[in-house]
Copies of this chain bind each other. A is one copy, B any other.
Amino acid sequence: MKVIQYTKNSIAAAVIGGCLVLLPSGTANAQKASSTEQAAIENALRKLDAEWSAAASARDLDKTVSYYSNDAVVLPPNAPLASTPMAIRAQWKKDIDSMIGGGWKPTRVEVAKSGDMAYVSGTYTFNFKDAGGKTVEDRGKYLEVWERQADGSWKCGADAWNSDLPAAP
């Protein structure tokens, strides 16, 4: 699809003041520029996601919440939506307080052609202390939407995860 669009739309010819001028089309240009940029963004997001996982695993609350945008929404399982920085911090504090270790790893990264939005999906494993003080492992999957900010940095704007393990009856 991209190749066909590029072939059809990349060059528009116009005669202006007696000169034949080739005008690059906006759409084709954006698509042409994006494949290299998209690959670079994918690499950057994989790196950011690994750093983020390391921060959470190291129980660094300040650093963990720093990966979210100011208007991020966080969808934790078995808890209400967290849609303010304060609520997101409270959710992560609770998780980090009960967490022993673990982390997450992306399996899929898809980047919008405009390079301002992307999503990352992958798997996590975390060890927790349960209410009785016993160590339990949780494993599951996550979906993050990343958005490029006004300063060019990437922040997570929406973050959902849930367990692979069956629910208690």
Contact = CB atoms under 8 A, between A and B. Distances in A.
A81 B168 contact: no
A75 interface: yes
Interface size class of A (residues with CB under 8 A): 35 or more
Contacts of A162: 75-78, 160-162
A152 B140 CA distance: 33
B119 A116 contact: no
Interface of A: 1, 16-21, 23-30, 32-34, 73, 75-81, 108, 110, 112-119, 121, 123, 131, 141-143, 145, 147, 150, 157-169
Given A18-B19, A29-B27, A160 B1 contact: no
Contacts of A115: 114
B119 A119 contact: yes
Contact of A112 (B113, B131, B150): B113
Contacts of A163: 77-78
A160 B161 contact: yes
Contacts of A168: 167-169
24 contacts: A1-B150, A16-B19, A19-B19, A25-B29, A26-B28, A26-B29, A26-B30, A26-B32, A73-B108, A75-B160, A78-B164, A78-B167, A108-B158, A110-B145, A110-B157, A113-B114, A113-B116, A114-B115, A119-B119, A119-B158, A131-B169, A143-B160, A161-B162, A168-B169
